[in-house]
Amino acid sequence: MAIIKSIRGIEPKFGKNCFLADNATVIGDVITGDDCSIWFNAVVRGDVHYIRIGNNVNIQDGVVIHGTYKKAPVETGNNISIAHNAIVHGCTLKDNILIGMGAIIMDHALVHSNSIIAAGALVTKNTVVEPGSVYAGVPARKVKSISKDLSEGEIRRIAESYGFYASWYR
């Protein structure tokens, strides 16, 4: 059973039809939308600031989501995939986004809708990711605009696939 802890009297809240892996950890001021999944060894730690997660968000194995005390919460939109071992810290993610494996997104970064953050990318503090873009590198920079094929073939496909995978565990 997932580790779900209240802190300072605040308990996580989950939408309908969410999947939490046996060793996922969710702490404190965390609210998820519907159809979300939090996978093995993922940590969503709402102890120092709030975390709000939209609908159909998959938080894959080893992901860490956290904020900065009294300065930077985490807010996400809908239809987001946060791939294995990514770190999402004190930032805002709009809708229809793919965060690649091992990517890091820092405080006050804003990732606009229909975007991809490449595997291993470092999105530094205060970066604004343009809508419909792929950002890659250290520090992350725009490398191209997203085609409809890439948007539907990767962003949408992965987000939908994780809902299907979660059904195997219910």
Q: What is the DSSP string of 99-146?
A: EPTT-EE-TT-EE-SSEEEPTT-EE-TT-EEPTTEEEETTTTEEEEEP
Residue 147 vs residue 8, higher pLDDT: 8
Q: How many structural domains does the chain have?
A: 1
Mean pLDDT of the region 129-147: 96
User: What residues contact 53, with CB distance under 8 A and at least 6 apart?
Assistant: 30, 31, 32, 33, 36, 44, 59, 74, 76
Element (H, E) at 159: helix 157-167
- Across 13-44, b (16+ Cβ under 10 Å) vs e yields ebbebbbbbeebbbbbbbebbebbbbbebbbb
Mean pLDDT of the region 82-109: 98
Q: Please, are residues 53 and 34 in contact by the beta-carbon 8 Å criterion?
A: no
Which amino acid appears at position 14 of this protein?
A: F
Query: Can you give the CATH number for the domain in which 7 is found?
Result: 2.160.10.10
% of the chain surpassing 90 pLDDT: 94
Mean pLDDT taken over the chain: 96
Q: What pLDDT does 149 receive? A: 80
pLDDT of 23 over the 80 cut? yes
Reported as a single tens digit per residue, the pLDDT across 5-19 is 999 999 999 999 999
Our CA dihedral for 17, 163, 115, 66, rounded to 10 degrees, sits at 50
CA distance 150 to 40: 27
Q: Quote the domain boundaries for residue 120.
A: 3-167
Q: Please, are residues 68 and 47 in contact by the beta-carbon 8 Å criterion?
A: no
Mean pLDDT of the region 98-116: 98
**SS3 (DSSP) at 163:** helix
Q: What pLDDT does 61 receive? A: 98
